[in-house]
Amino acid sequence: MRDAFFVAFSFLAIFGGFLTVSRRDPMYSALSLILFFGAISGVMMILAAPFLALMQLMVYAGAILVLFIFVIMLLALRGEEIGGERPWPLQLLAGIGCAVLFGLIAAAMLRAPFQALPKVGPEFGSPEQVGRTMFAEFVLPFEVVSVLILAATMGAVVLAKKNLGKPEGPAVDAPKDHGGTH
């Protein structure tokens, strides 16, 4: 039964990821990302890492995704700014490319010898273990990701402020004063 749930959550994560990258409307992409984050959290619960599953929901689905939705709403893109659907030959080519890539990855995985998962102790996924690993072994990648998220947020705010100053209708020229009195 546990394997069936693992496979179901895995396919939900793949489906959510596919919807995230295939939708033209950024709001639909962000909402599809909720499905992905929830499914990944379910996979972590099945792998006996409840702390990581909770952090996945709180940090990514709760904080980061809310920030994404806030920025998307702040940008307030209209339909013509997003663009129309891609032409069907391009969609077909992208689908074929994805299928080929998936086939290559699957073939490489099936050729590799099967190895059982290592046994994990009760400390696996605990707050102490996660903190020790993140801030001892992976401190540089952690800080780089923090700076990238900050830069992306600042870039989104700059783009949004640029659009806020534009008038909606045609510009009306103000009367010019030529320095004389009337």
| Nearest alpha-carbon partner for 39 in 13, 17, 78, 57 | 13
Q: Hey, what are 41's tokens?
A: 């959290």
User: Among 26, 19, 34, 17, which Cα is nearest to 74's?
Assistant: 26
Q: What is the pLDDT of residues 102-161, one digit of tens each?
A: 899 888 888 888 777 677 777 777 788 888 888 888 889 889 988 988 898 888 778 777
pTM of the model: 0.60
How many Å apart are CA 152 and CA 68, to the nearest integer? 10
172 has pLDDT over 60: no
Nearest to 16 by CA among 4, 31, 27, 1: 31
Per-residue pLDDT reduced to its tens digit, 25-78:
888 888 899 999 999 999 999 988 888 888 888 888 888 888 888 877 877 766
